[in-house]
Structure 1
Amino acid sequence: MKPITAIDDPRYVKAMSHPVRVRIMAMLQERKASPNELSQWLGTTLGATAYHVRTLHKLGLIELVDETRVRGAVEHHYKAKARPKVTEENWSKASPVAKQAAVGSQLKMLEDYTNASAAAGGFDRADAVLERKTARLDDRGWKALTAEAAKFLERVDRIQADAAKRLTKAGDEGAIDAGVVLLGFESVPLSTQIPESKKKRTPMKRTRRASA
Structure 2
Amino acid sequence: MRSTSDRSPNSCCGLGERVVASRSVAGDLRTSTLRALAHPLRLQILSLLTPQAMSAAEIGRALNTTSANASYHLRVLHREGLIRLESEEKGRGGVARKYRYVRMLPMDGDKPATVTDTTMLDVLGKELSRRSSRLAVGPSTIADAELYVSEREWREIVDGVADFVERLHAVARPRGCPGTIPVNMTVALFGMGSS
Normalised by the length of structure 1, the TM-score is 0.54
**TM-superposed deviation, 1:130:** 2.1
Task: Tell whether the 8 Å contact from 1:4 to 1:11 is kept in structure 2 after alignment.
Answer: no
Question: Paired residue for 2:55?
Answer: 34
**TM-superposed deviation, 1:77:** 0.7
Cα distance, 1:186–1:111 mapped onto 2, change above 3 Å: farther
For the residues of structure 1 that align with 2:81 and 2:40, how far apart are their CA atoms? 18
**TM-superposed deviation, 1:14:** 2.3
For the residues of structure 2 that align with 1:81 and 1:41, how far apart are their CA atoms? 20
Q: Partner letter of residue 13 of structure 1? A: L
For the residues of structure 2 that align with 1:180 and 1:52, how far apart are their CA atoms? 22
**TM-superposed deviation, 1:51:** 1.2
| Identity among equivalent pairs (%) | 21
Question: Paired residue for 1:63?
Answer: 84
**TM-superposed deviation, 1:44:** 2.1
1:89 aligns to what SS in structure 2? coil
Compute the RMSD of aligned alpha carbons. Answer: 4.2
Task: Tell whether the 8 Å contact from 1:21 to 1:52 is kept in structure 2 after alignment.
Answer: yes
Task: Tell whether the 8 Å contact from 1:4 to 1:61 is kept in structure 2 after alignment.
Answer: no
Which runs of 5 or more residues in structure 2 are unaligned?
1-21, 172-178
> Which structure has the larger Rg?
1
**TM-superposed deviation, 1:20:** 2.1
Aligned residues: 161
- Residues 1:51 and 2:72 are matched in the alignment: yes
Which runs of 5 or more residues in structure 1 are unaligned?
165-173, 188-212
Deviates more, 1:18-27 or 1:32-41: 18-27
2:121 counterpart (94, 97, 103): 103
**TM-superposed deviation, 1:42:** 2.1
Cα distance, 1:183–1:144 mapped onto 2, change above 3 Å: farther
1:146 counterpart (154, 162, 165): 154
Normalised by the length of structure 2, the TM-score is 0.58
For the residues of structure 1 that align with 2:93 and 2:157, how far apart are their CA atoms? 51
1:41-91: CA deviations, max 9, x gaps? 222222222111112212222111122233343211100113252867354
- Residues 1:75 and 2:75 are matched in the alignment: no
Q: Partner letter of residue 111 of structure 2? A: E
